[in-house]
Structure 1
Amino acid sequence: MYQIIAHAKPKKESEHFGEFLGAYATLFIDFKEIDGAYVLAKHYIENEGWEIIELEDEYFIINSIEDMAEDYQQYYYEVFEYGYSLIFNTYDSIGEE
């Protein structure tokens, strides 16, 4: 499993437009190769109504639940059930970035 992080902002047609300035999206994805995981990460984030500002080059390999930050461990089994888990850590002002 990979952990990929992106900085994103809501698209104009998104339900979140006007509510949030942006978010740091954390995606956990169960995929064999990192290149394909990045393609899917872009798809899932954009499909939720967000425009990617930056997709971080650095990623993490998660081999067990202990490899995940404690805040995210609740999503571990969801990744294997659905293939991915996407968490948006939103902010609504520049000072919160």
Structure 2
Amino acid sequence: MYLINLQAEPKKGTEYYEKVAGAFVSVYIDYADAEGAIHLAKYYTEEEGWKVDNVDDEFFEIEDEKELDKENREFYDEAKEYGYTMVFNCYESDEEE
């Protein structure tokens, strides 16, 4: 299991376009290797209507679910069941309108 963190912005015509400037996205991927997990994280994010701006160079390999706190264990369990899960932490623009 891998935890890939990336930064994205909503694509035009999507639910969050013009509502938020972007999001930090945490993608839990149940996949065999890191490179494939990164590609899948980008793919799933784009499929949700977000343009990936940046993928963190650092990713996390989760070898033992017991090392996770309760909230993150729920994401882990969901990724085990469905193959992946995503957490979007949206933010607004710093610029005043």
Q: Same fold (TM over 0.5)?
A: yes
Which residue number in structure 1 is paired with residue 77 of structure 2? 77
- State how many pairs are aligned: 95
RMSD: 1.5
Could you tell me which amino acid in structure 1 is paired with residue 89 of structure 2? Answer: N
**Structure 1: gaps spanning 5 or more residues:** none
Q: Unaligned regions of 5+ residues in structure 2, if any?
A: none
Task: Find the aligned partners of 2:77 and 2:70 in 1 and give their Cα distance.
Answer: 14
Percent identical pairs in the alignment equals 38
| Mapping of residues 6-85 of structure 1, within 5 Å | 6-85=6-85
TM-score (normalizing by structure 1): 0.89
> Match of 1:20, SS?
coil
Whole-angstrom distance in 2 between the partners of 1:56 and 1:15: 25
More strand by share: 1
Give the match for residue 89 of structure 1.
89
Instruction: Specify the SS of the correspondent of 2:57.
Output: strand
CA distance in 1, matches of 2:72, 2:94: 25
